[in-house]
Homo-oligomer: A and B are copies of this chain.
Protein backbone atom coordinates (compact mmCIF):
# COMPACT_ATOMS: atom_id res chain seq x y z
CA UNK A 1 0.00 0.00 0.00
CA UNK A 2 3.06 2.30 -0.21
CA UNK A 3 1.72 3.91 -3.35
CA UNK A 4 -1.04 5.40 -1.23
CA UNK A 5 1.45 7.96 0.07
CA UNK A 6 0.57 10.09 -2.97
CA UNK A 7 -2.80 10.85 -1.35
CA UNK A 8 -0.95 12.41 1.58
CA UNK A 9 1.48 14.30 -0.64
CA UNK A 10 -1.48 15.81 -2.49
CA UNK A 11 -3.12 16.72 0.86
CA UNK A 12 -6.16 14.50 0.54
CA UNK A 13 -8.01 13.37 3.64
CA UNK A 14 -8.20 16.59 5.65
CA UNK A 15 -10.55 16.55 8.62
CA UNK A 16 -14.05 18.06 8.17
CA UNK A 17 -15.06 18.25 11.82
CA UNK A 18 -18.60 18.48 13.16
CA UNK A 19 -20.90 21.30 12.04
CA UNK A 20 -23.94 23.11 13.42
CA UNK A 21 -26.53 20.34 13.57
CA UNK A 22 -26.40 16.55 13.25
CA UNK A 23 -28.67 13.80 12.01
CA UNK A 24 -28.29 10.02 11.93
CA UNK A 25 -28.87 8.02 8.75
CA UNK A 26 -29.42 4.24 8.86
CA UNK A 27 -29.10 2.52 5.49
CA UNK A 28 -30.61 -0.81 4.44
CA UNK A 29 -30.56 -2.61 7.79
CA UNK A 30 -33.19 -4.99 6.48
CA UNK A 31 -33.66 -8.70 7.16
CA UNK A 32 -32.23 -9.69 3.77
CA UNK A 33 -28.96 -7.88 4.49
CA UNK A 34 -28.68 -9.60 7.88
CA UNK A 35 -28.63 -13.05 6.28
CA UNK A 36 -25.40 -14.31 4.66
CA UNK A 37 -27.35 -16.57 2.32
CA UNK A 38 -29.32 -13.63 0.90
CA UNK A 39 -27.36 -10.33 0.75
CA UNK A 40 -25.51 -10.26 4.12
CA UNK A 41 -22.16 -11.54 5.39
CA UNK A 42 -18.87 -10.62 7.16
CA UNK A 43 -19.42 -7.79 9.70
CA UNK A 44 -22.98 -6.68 8.94
CA UNK A 45 -24.32 -8.36 12.10
CA UNK A 46 -21.92 -6.35 14.23
CA UNK A 47 -22.85 -3.16 12.38
CA UNK A 48 -26.51 -3.80 13.22
CA UNK A 49 -25.80 -4.26 16.93
CA UNK A 50 -23.64 -1.14 17.07
CA UNK A 51 -26.16 0.91 15.11
CA UNK A 52 -28.91 -0.16 17.52
CA UNK A 53 -26.76 1.27 20.35
CA UNK A 54 -26.15 4.52 18.50
CA UNK A 55 -29.83 4.84 17.57
CA UNK A 56 -30.79 4.58 21.23
CA UNK A 57 -28.42 7.40 22.15
CA UNK A 58 -29.55 9.52 19.20
CA UNK A 59 -33.15 9.27 20.40
CA UNK A 60 -32.18 10.17 23.97
CA UNK A 61 -30.30 13.21 22.70
CA UNK A 62 -32.93 14.48 20.29
CA UNK A 63 -30.87 13.83 17.15
CA UNK A 64 -33.05 13.62 14.02
CA UNK A 65 -33.08 10.09 12.56
CA UNK A 66 -33.60 8.99 8.96
CA UNK A 67 -34.16 5.40 7.82
CA UNK A 68 -33.96 4.21 4.25
CA UNK A 69 -34.48 0.74 2.90
CA UNK A 70 -34.18 -0.80 -0.51
CA UNK A 71 -37.25 -2.11 -2.30
CA UNK A 72 -38.49 -2.81 -5.79
CA UNK A 73 -42.22 -2.54 -6.31
CA UNK A 74 -42.25 -4.35 -9.63
CA UNK A 75 -39.90 -7.33 -9.29
CA UNK A 76 -36.99 -5.35 -10.63
CA UNK A 77 -38.86 -3.61 -13.46
CA UNK A 78 -38.51 -0.26 -11.67
CA UNK A 79 -34.79 -0.38 -10.82
CA UNK A 80 -33.32 -0.46 -14.30
CA UNK A 81 -29.96 -2.12 -14.87
CA UNK A 82 -29.42 -2.70 -11.12
CA UNK A 83 -31.74 -5.72 -11.35
CA UNK A 84 -29.68 -7.19 -14.17
CA UNK A 85 -26.36 -6.71 -12.39
CA UNK A 86 -27.60 -7.95 -8.98
CA UNK A 87 -30.62 -10.20 -9.55
CA UNK A 88 -30.88 -11.01 -5.82
CA UNK A 89 -32.34 -7.53 -5.35
CA UNK A 90 -35.50 -8.60 -7.17
CA UNK A 91 -36.58 -10.56 -4.10
CA UNK A 92 -36.92 -7.37 -2.05
CA UNK A 93 -40.45 -6.23 -2.75
CA UNK A 94 -41.47 -3.68 -0.10
CA UNK A 95 -43.88 -6.06 1.62
CA UNK A 96 -41.61 -9.12 1.63
CA UNK A 97 -40.19 -10.28 5.00
CA UNK A 98 -36.58 -9.80 3.81
CA UNK A 99 -37.26 -6.15 2.94
CA UNK A 100 -38.40 -5.26 6.47
CA UNK A 101 -36.20 -3.32 8.89
CA UNK A 102 -34.33 -5.50 11.39
CA UNK A 103 -36.21 -5.36 14.71
CA UNK A 104 -33.49 -3.63 16.73
CA UNK A 105 -33.34 -0.60 14.44
CA UNK A 106 -36.97 -0.11 13.45
CA UNK A 107 -38.19 3.47 12.94
CA UNK A 108 -40.55 5.08 15.43
CA UNK A 109 -43.12 7.79 14.75
CA UNK A 110 -41.68 11.16 13.77
CA UNK A 111 -38.54 9.72 12.16
CA UNK A 112 -37.89 10.03 8.43
CA UNK A 113 -38.55 6.84 6.48
CA UNK A 114 -38.16 6.28 2.77
CA UNK A 115 -38.05 3.48 0.30
CA UNK A 116 -35.24 3.75 -2.22
CA UNK A 117 -34.62 1.91 -5.48
CA UNK A 118 -30.91 2.49 -5.98
CA UNK A 119 -27.73 2.65 -3.89
CA UNK A 120 -27.73 6.17 -2.53
CA UNK A 121 -30.14 7.25 0.19
CA UNK A 122 -30.42 10.52 -1.74
CA UNK A 123 -31.24 9.19 -5.21
CA UNK A 124 -34.96 9.09 -5.92
CA UNK A 125 -35.89 10.23 -2.41
CA UNK A 126 -36.44 13.64 -0.82
CA UNK A 127 -33.93 12.92 1.97
CA UNK A 128 -31.76 15.96 1.15
CA UNK A 129 -34.85 18.19 1.38
CA UNK A 130 -35.71 16.76 4.79
CA UNK A 131 -32.19 17.50 6.05
CA UNK A 132 -32.19 21.00 4.57
CA UNK A 133 -35.58 21.86 6.10
CA UNK A 134 -34.16 20.92 9.53
CA UNK A 135 -30.89 22.82 9.05
CA UNK A 136 -28.82 19.64 9.35
CA UNK A 137 -25.28 19.99 8.03
CA UNK A 138 -23.59 16.96 9.64
CA UNK A 139 -24.74 13.46 8.75
CA UNK A 140 -23.71 10.37 10.73
CA UNK A 141 -23.90 7.43 8.34
CA UNK A 142 -24.52 3.83 9.38
CA UNK A 143 -25.80 0.64 7.80
CA UNK A 144 -24.80 -1.51 4.89
CA UNK A 145 -23.04 -2.21 2.70
CA UNK A 146 -19.88 -0.15 3.07
CA UNK A 147 -18.95 -0.70 -0.57
CA UNK A 148 -22.48 -0.24 -1.89
CA UNK A 149 -25.21 1.95 -0.46
CA UNK A 150 -23.05 3.45 2.31
CA UNK A 151 -20.42 4.55 -0.20
CA UNK A 152 -23.02 5.90 -2.65
CA UNK A 153 -24.83 7.80 0.12
CA UNK A 154 -21.57 9.25 1.45
CA UNK A 155 -20.51 10.54 -1.98
CA UNK A 156 -23.94 12.13 -2.41
CA UNK A 157 -23.91 13.58 1.11
CA UNK A 158 -20.70 15.41 0.24
CA UNK A 159 -22.15 16.63 -3.06
CA UNK A 160 -25.25 17.90 -1.24
CA UNK A 161 -23.03 20.15 0.87
CA UNK A 162 -23.12 18.04 4.05
CA UNK A 163 -20.35 16.89 6.42
CA UNK A 164 -20.54 13.09 6.18
CA UNK A 165 -19.36 11.18 9.26
CA UNK A 166 -19.04 7.47 8.52
CA UNK A 167 -19.36 5.57 11.80
CA UNK A 168 -16.84 2.79 11.22
CA UNK A 169 -18.25 0.43 13.87
CA UNK A 170 -21.75 0.84 12.45
CA UNK A 171 -21.15 0.11 8.76
CA UNK A 172 -20.69 -3.37 7.39
CA UNK A 173 -20.10 -5.30 4.22
CA UNK A 174 -20.40 -8.86 3.03
CA UNK A 175 -16.60 -9.08 2.64
CA UNK A 176 -13.62 -7.47 4.33
CA UNK A 177 -11.53 -6.19 1.41
CA UNK A 178 -14.25 -3.96 -0.12
CA UNK A 179 -15.20 -2.78 3.38
CA UNK A 180 -11.67 -1.52 4.02
CA UNK A 181 -11.01 -0.19 0.53
CA UNK A 182 -14.17 1.91 0.67
CA UNK A 183 -13.43 3.28 4.13
CA UNK A 184 -10.11 4.45 2.69
CA UNK A 185 -11.72 6.17 -0.31
CA UNK A 186 -14.43 7.82 1.77
CA UNK A 187 -11.94 9.20 4.30
CA UNK A 188 -9.61 10.53 1.62
CA UNK A 189 -12.27 12.33 -0.41
CA UNK A 190 -15.65 12.80 1.20
CA UNK A 191 -16.06 11.97 4.88
CA UNK A 192 -14.54 11.77 8.32
CA UNK A 193 -14.35 8.32 9.88
CA UNK A 194 -15.59 8.27 13.47
CA UNK A 195 -15.92 5.41 15.94
CA UNK A 196 -19.15 4.44 17.73
CA UNK A 197 -17.75 5.99 20.91
CA UNK A 198 -16.96 9.29 19.18
CA UNK A 199 -20.44 9.42 17.67
CA UNK A 200 -22.04 8.71 21.04
CA UNK A 201 -19.87 11.34 22.72
CA UNK A 202 -20.84 13.93 20.11
CA UNK A 203 -24.56 13.21 20.42
CA UNK A 204 -24.29 13.53 24.23
CA UNK A 205 -22.33 16.79 24.01
CA UNK A 206 -24.99 18.23 21.75
CA UNK A 207 -27.71 17.27 24.20
CA UNK A 208 -25.85 18.84 27.11
CA UNK A 209 -25.53 22.07 25.21
CA UNK A 210 -29.20 22.03 24.17
Interface residues of A (CB under 8 A from B): 1, 3-4, 6-7, 10-14, 16, 20, 36, 38-39, 41-42, 73-74, 77-82, 84-88, 109-115, 117-120, 123-126, 128-135, 137, 147-148, 151-152, 155-156, 158-164, 174-178, 181-182, 184-185, 188-191
Residues of B near A148 (CB, < 8 A) are 185, 189
Copies in the complex: 4
Distance, CA A182 to CA B124, complexed state (A): 24
Residues of B near A158 (CB, < 8 A) are 80-82, 85, 118-119
Given the known interface contacts A84-B16, A152-B155, A175-B4, the answer about A130 and B161 at a Cβ–Cβ threshold of 8 Å is yes
Residues of B near A120 (CB, < 8 A) are 155, 159
Residues of B near A86 (CB, < 8 A) are 11-12, 14, 188-189
